[in-house]
Amino acid sequence: MTSASTFPSADGLWTGLRLAPGAAPGTTPDADTEAAIAVAEGTVRWVGARSALPAEFAGLPPHDGGGALVTPGLVDCHTHLVYGGQRANEFAMRLAGASYEEVAKAGGGIVSSVRATREADEDALFAQAAPRLEQLLADGVCAIEIKSGYGLALEHERKQLRVARRLGEAYGVTVRTTFLGAHALPPEYAGRSGDYIDLVCNEMLPALAAEGLVDAVDVFCERIAFTLAETEQVFQAAKALGLPVKLHAEQLSDMGGAALAARYGALSCDHIEHLSAQGIEAMRQSGTVAVLLPGAYYTLRDTHLPPIEALRAAGVPMAVSTDHNPGTSPALSLLLMMNMACTLFRLTVPEAVAGVTLHAARALGLQKTHGAIAEGMPANFVLWNVRDAAELAYWFGQRPVRTVVRQGRIAVGAAQ
Ligand code: NIG
Ligand code: FE
């Protein structure tokens, strides 16, 4: 593992670039015009057509982009990256015909990852998550959300969130932590869902928030998880602490979760295969991002498509994420998710690019610092060895990254 502090500075004038559509809102020359990016002290000072470069930046140390296409650093806005063990056995069960809900009811599913996560100490969890993070970073990820939710007890949720913070520091990547204590009912609370939600709201969340471990709060609102009323109780607790909320909403059924989340000004509603017209309208009004998770849809062999056309028509911003988790989406490539979002959900290429940059940043409340290349933002951008932005979604199993500038440093592809 390379320590982030050893990455060389990206300060200087980046030339020989072509901006992907939408990469630098407001200033975008087309992809056939040579673009330049001026970086000083880790911050973007200027971006635009090279021919329009202000003289004050012309003398900065040069970085030749070699004609690469450039996008903002990618943002993976929904992951469960920190957990113990893996669940390949469930993959086999599903291949033999069992559904996700059947596997969960048979004692597998989330609670089996809870067992393995509780058994692992912080260093073991870090060691297991680090190579997974490295895979995502190699695809150009510059910011990532990491949820808890496999501890389901204060000390174990704390362990997950602390590992998430440590990963951010070790790799020099922006990490947003999300407390997902209401992910599943821990076995010791079987039949006492209300007591567990009280614990989540009155003890776990306040303690973890006081320790600075919680950037947002999430709930799995579903038949096999928590009810709408329980979800609202958690949202109330988050609101009392001034924390933003998001929701695993309408993945397997329409619970009315999206409309509730919208009432609480949720940053995002995620999965949303069964999202209703009322849910879409509520999200539109509250400016909530729709996070599409094609990896889970694919793994579960789902056939109920999220209402893409209606979301598009309503102008609800759509993000795309890996949902990396050991049960339903063991995916470690955001580029592959772009491919799936286009192929399975019929997103257009510009929608898929915005889905892993601009809108994904907004789903994390990071729109001021991530998801675009813009003056005043930290330098987070990726140079790609492709001719066309469509190639980012078209290839799968390819890694056309040339250079990653992450938090003002050249994290991948520095000149030797
Ligand atoms: O986002 N939907 C709930 N949570 C995860 C799955 C977690 C698991 O199966 O371990 C998801 O798909
Ligand atoms: Fe998830």
Asked whether the beta carbons of 47 and 35 are under 8 A apart, the reply is: yes
> What is the identity of the amino acid at 409?
R
Instruction: Note whether 209 and 243 are within 8 A (CB).
Output: yes
Pick the ligand that lies closest to the CA of residue 223.
1
Determine the distance from the C-alpha atom of residue 55 to the mean position of all C-alpha atoms in its chain, rounded to a whole number: 38
Residue 15 is assigned to a ligand binding site: no
Which residues lie near ion ligand 2 (Cβ < 5 Å)?
323
88, 391 Cβ separation under 8 angstroms: no
Structure tokens at 392: 């980012």
Q: Is the pLDDT of residue 29 over 80?
A: no
Residue 3: pLDDT above 70?
A: no
- In angstroms, rounded to a whole number, what is the distance separating the alpha carbons of residues 132 and 339? 20
From start to end of 243-388, where are the E strands?
246-249, 268-271, 289-292, 318-320, 381-384
Question: Under 8 Å CB-to-CB from 283, ≥6 apart: which residues?
Answer: 258, 262, 269, 290, 314, 316
Per-residue pLDDT tens digits for 211-231:
999 999 999 999 989 999 999
- Over the chain, what is the mean pLDDT? 96
| Residues 377-397, mean pLDDT to the nearest whole number | 97
The Å distance, Cα 219 to ligand 2 centre, comes to 10
pLDDT at 26: 86
State yes or no: 327 annotated in a binding site: yes
Return the ligand number nearest the Cα of 298. Answer: 1
The pLDDT, as a whole number, for residue 199 is 98
Name the burial class of residue 180, with classes exposed (0-12), middle (13-18) and buried (19+) by CB atoms within 10 angstroms of its CB.
buried
- One-letter amino acid for residue 403 of the chain: T
Ligand 1 pocket (Cβ < 6 Å) reads: 80, 109-110, 113, 220, 248, 251, 296, 323, 325-329
Ligand closest in space to the Cα of 113: 1
Per-residue pLDDT reduced to its tens digit, 75-105: 999 999 999 999 999 999 999 999 988 998 8
**Nearest CA among 234, 229, 230 for reference residue 216:** 234
DSSP secondary structure, 76-145, as one string: E-------SS--HHHHHHHHTT--HHHHHHTT-THHHHHHHHHHS-HHHHHHHHHHHHHHHHHTTEEEEE
Nearest-atom number in ligand 1 for the CA of 270 is 1
Distance (Å, whole) CA 175 – CA 143: 6
**178: annotated binding-site residue?**
no
pTM for this model (two decimals): 0.97
Task: Give me ligand 1 centre to Cα 389, in Å.
Answer: 30
Answer yes or no: is 325 a known binding residue. yes
The mean pLDDT value for 191-205 works out to 98
How many angstroms is it from 117 CA to the middle of ligand 1?
Answer: 15
How confident is the model over 169-195, as a mean pLDDT?
97
Q: What is the pLDDT of residue 272?
A: 98
φ, ψ dihedrals at 327, nearest 5°? -100, -55
